[in-house]
Amino acid sequence: MKRGSAIALLLAVLLSLHNLTQLLPAAQWRALLPWTANPDIHRLLVLQSWLPRLAISLLCGAALGLAGLLFQQTLRNPLAEPMTLGVADGAQLALSLTTVFLPHWLAASSWITLAGALIAAVLVLTLAASRGLEPSRVAIAGLVVSLFCGSLITVLQLLYAPYLHSLFIWGAGSLVQQGWGNVRLLGGQLLVGWLLALMLCRPLQLLGLGDMHASSLGLPSRYVRLGGFSLAVLLTAAVVSAVGVIGFVGLAAPALAQLLGARRLAQRLLLAPLCGALLLWATDQAVQPFANALGELVPTGAATALFGAPLILWLLLRMRTPSVPFSSVNAAVEGAQVADGRLYLLSLTLFLLLVLTLLLSLVFGRAPNGWSMASLSPLSPLLPWRWPRSLAACAAGMMLAAAGVLLQRFSGNRLASPEMMGVSAGAALGMLALTLVTGEVSHSLRFAVTSAGALLALLMILSFSRRHHFAADRVLLVGVAISALFQALVATIIASGDERAVTLLSWLSGSTYTIMPGDAVTALLLALTLSVLTGLFRRWMMILPLGPTCASAVGIALAQTRLLTLGLIAMLTAGATLTVGPISFIGLTAPHIARLLGARRPGQQLLLAIPCGALMMVVADWIGRNLLAPQELPAGLVATLLGAPYMMWLFTRRESRS
């Protein structure tokens, strides 16, 4: 591991020297000395653009690495990171809204992004405050806010793409600088933040033991968590307001620090910022030769995952140490469970409501003369267009909800969702490559290519996690790396201005536009079969979150059980992705909605989550078809816009009863 870090450092230095030479030959480097009076344009470019960009890459990487570590430590979750807790998406949404509706305010863009980030963070803390900022509650609230803001941004991109093209580059993280102002500001903020983090080192270390143990030692857990979380939010907001959204660094840097041998928090507080700085520095220097001399055309934030994801995969291949289970993150069972009779009645009600919603989606809609209920005669020519979409949305919602329950139980981590598996990202990569190579494609060719991409991603996951006996944390790290790689490719291509990539936004948001009757029937049969099969995994879902020791004690063969569970999750995810495209909300929130409705045991959770997921997708597809007719919104996008506020309301409703 140390050898790999040394190689990365050497590579970053060599790339920096190469890029500097392209701007200013080595024989003229003496002109960079401060006492040299030389008005040459190349000297000015180096002093006022290239060197500040080098410095800002180091500062941003260090700040994101430190913020990611603070998020993971305060929330006791290795999947928590700055870009998945609402902060970055809140900043980007604020700037997008300003660009579209209040463009004369853009002169204060840095303050607007900072305000957006802080408002999102306050919303997250408000949703989680009633439970004393419980780690899982903060993390889930952050993901819901992040997904909601991200969906609003996508809607704006679909409706106002020509006006927001410049924001594609900012949203992908551009480090281009025009002076030293951002460097001085961010440098001071990072120094203060790092000193405060060192002061919080001991309380945060105790916080990692759990609230019960920390409280027994006299630690005010709620205030320490609030302090650590707030510090991480401020660091993230500072980076976003300075250079835009840079993902993956906040997740990768703490993981790299741990893979390099840092075990104690004090060691990670020193090593995680250094890993983040090295990762972003090396990435930025590698980007520049592929564009122009300063690399303005390739956003560094997007390219970070292109280099960081393979690095994570390479380290996982070389790592021989045992994995750390997620079972300590969240308990397998929580609180008092609802009575079985009431739960079955609630489940039956949801299924009946789903059937009624399916029927209404076929007969009620928006016509040229307004909203109307279609009678039998005008309905017959519309049915071949309506029922495949509604049925496919229902099937996709069922599969994603089942996959979400299975994955969260399998990993013991409530932040886990099917898209983190990387299978949907593999399918989307195939679709992206096909569209860019051939343009318009047939339905059968699209299905074949996306299936091949999903299969390739699954084989990669199995290959990288096999030596660790398919442990949940290794599986999720591989999936997150593959997903980050895909998102980086999409962000880079969209930022380049390729119109074909922009048209993919609707499919990437979960679209039922191209569903054929045969596809819908196949998807429903697959959903029913896999949902029944998921129910047979109830015992394993109850035991696996308790950890490998408990599982082995009751006679479970861990490697085989994990492989079978992983295979079923992959089939559910791939089935939904191949039907409607990648969707990033249903699989995450349907299990949580089932919990908030009173389900505790795995079987109970499945009975409520599956109809919830299907119902959300059917309603979302119907609204997407009718709300802005004749223009349509993707079902996955509408599902997030509807489901996120509903889940926020469930948070407050549940707490008001306690």
Would you state the pLDDT for residue 354?
Answer: 92
Q: Quick one: CA torsion of 547, 552, 557, 563, rounded to 10 degrees? A: 10
Q: Quick one: CA torsion of 414, 210, 251, 188, rounded to 10 degrees? A: 140
Lowest mean pLDDT among 61-70, 229-238, 370-379, 621-630: 370-379
Would you state the pLDDT for residue 37?
Answer: 61
Does 168 have pLDDT greater than 70?
no
Cα–Cα distance, 428 to 445 (Å, whole number): 14
Q: pLDDT digit string (tens) for 567-595? A: 888 888 888 888 888 887 788 888 888 88
Q: What is the mean pLDDT of residues 31-59?
A: 79
pLDDT above 70 coverage of the chain, percent: 78
Would you state the pLDDT for residue 131?
Answer: 66
Q: Is the dihedral of CA 628, 634, 638, 641 positive or negative?
A: negative
Does 215 have pLDDT greater than 90?
no
Does 138 have pLDDT greater than 90?
no
Would you state the pLDDT for residue 67?
Answer: 93
| Cβ proximity of 559 and 468 under 8 Å | no
Cα–Cα distance, 246 to 488 (Å, whole number): 10
Cα–Cα distance, 19 to 580 (Å, whole number): 44
Closest CA to 296 of 429, 178, 184: 178
| Cβ proximity of 491 and 611 under 8 Å | no
Would you state the pLDDT for residue 302?
Answer: 65
Q: pLDDT band for 426, please (50, 70, 90 cuts).
A: confident
Cα–Cα distance, 24 to 33 (Å, whole number): 13
Lowest mean pLDDT among 251-265, 295-309, 520-534: 295-309
Would you state the pLDDT for residue 407?
Answer: 84
pLDDT above 90 coverage of the chain, percent: 16
Q: pLDDT band for 64, please (50, 70, 90 cuts).
A: very high
Would you state the pLDDT for residue 391?
Answer: 92
Q: What is the mean pLDDT of residues 534-539?
A: 86
Would you state the pLDDT for residue 535?
Answer: 87
Cα–Cα distance, 472 to 482 (Å, whole number): 15
Which amino acid makes up residue 538?
Answer: R
Q: pLDDT band for 85, please (50, 70, 90 cuts).
A: confident
DSSP 384-453: HHHHHHHHHHHHHHHHHHHHHHHHHHHHT-TT--GGGGSHHHHHHHHHHHHHHHHSS--HHHHHHHHHHH
Numbered ranges of CATH 1.10.3470.10 in the chain:
2-27+42-301, 344-366+383-657
Q: State which of 73-87, 216-230, 323-337, 351-365 shows the largest mean pLDDT.
A: 351-365
Lowest mean pLDDT among 262-276, 284-298, 500-514: 284-298
What value, to the nearest 5°, has the Cα angle with vertex 233 and ends 228 and 234? 100
Higher per-residue confidence, 274 vs 360: 274
Q: What are the structure tokens assigned to 532, written together?
A: 């029944």
- Whether the bond between 630 and the residue before it is cis, its omega within 30 degrees of 0, is yes
Give Cβ neighbours of residue 476 (< 8 Å, ≥ 6 apart): 79, 411, 413, 416, 420, 421
Q: What are the structure tokens assigned to 289, written together?
A: 């030769």
Q: What are the structure tokens assigned to 218, written together?
A: 């006299």
Would you state the pLDDT for residue 61?
Answer: 93
Would you state the pLDDT for residue 528?
Answer: 93
Lowest mean pLDDT among 129-138, 155-164, 334-343: 334-343
What value, to the nearest 5°, has the Cα angle with vertex 640 and ends 234 and 390? 170
**Count of positions (residues) in the chain:** 658
Would you state the pLDDT for residue 503?
Answer: 61
Topology of domain 344-366+383-657 in CATH is: ABC transporter involved in vitamin B12 uptake, BtuC (1.10.3470)
Q: pLDDT band for 378, please (50, 70, 90 cuts).
A: low
Higher per-residue confidence, 407 vs 78: 407
Would you state the pLDDT for residue 495?
Answer: 60
Would you state the pLDDT for residue 328?
Answer: 37
Does 333 have pLDDT greater than 50?
no
Backbone conformation region of residue 244, classed left if phi is above 0, alpha if psi is from -120 to 50, else beta: left
Would you state the pLDDT for residue 322?
Answer: 45
What value, to the nearest 5°, has the Cα angle with vertex 448 and ends 445 and 449? 85
Q: pLDDT band for 299, please (50, 70, 90 cuts).
A: low
Does domain 2-27+42-301 correspond to CATH entry 1.10.1040.50?
Answer: no
Q: What is the mean pLDDT of residues 477-504?
A: 67
